[in-house]
Amino acid sequence: MKSEAIKTYCKSKPYATEDFPFGDVPICYKLSGKIFAQLYPYEHDFKITLKCTADAGQFYREVYPGKVVRGYHCPPVQQPYWNTIYLDDFPDDELLNMIDLAYDTVLSKLSKKDRNRIREEQDTL
């Protein structure tokens, strides 16, 4: 999947925003100010880091060894909750599922009021 398609998909999530808090790279996608995806779009370093649950993170690392690793940039205490995916030859459908999981993981941590508002928006799409 090309970086433009990934950007479009991340921005298509209800209330998702694109941000550059660390400079040009990574391109961050946030929900209510919380990052769910960090895209590194360069050909020589094409990867994405996604939020996840500890169990889902471990599952993906076991299914795609070497392609999915603990969040490389995170301190050790946060690494189980982030996966870095090297995108060369990675299945598009699986990547979209992982982006959905990242978004839903952040959504689940929001207040009940915010979750309900966002879910209502999702239902109307």
What are the domain boundaries of the chain? 3-93+101-107
Write the burial class of residue 66 (CB in 10 Å: 0-12 exposed, 13-18 middle, 19+ buried).
exposed
Cα-Cα-Cα-Cα dihedral sign, residues 104, 107, 108, 112: negative
> From CA 79, how far away is CA 92, in angstroms rounded?
23
Could you tell me the fold of the domain covering 3-93+101-107? Aspartate Aminotransferase, domain 1 (3.90.1150)
Average pLDDT over residues 34-54: 94
Cα-Cα-Cα-Cα dihedral sign, residues 77, 111, 32, 121: positive
Record the pTM.
Answer: 0.90
Tens digits of per-residue pLDDT, 55-100?
A: 999 999 999 999 999 887 776 677 789 999 999 999 999 999 999 9
Average pLDDT over residues 24-30: 95
Cβ pair 120, 107 in contact under 8 A: no
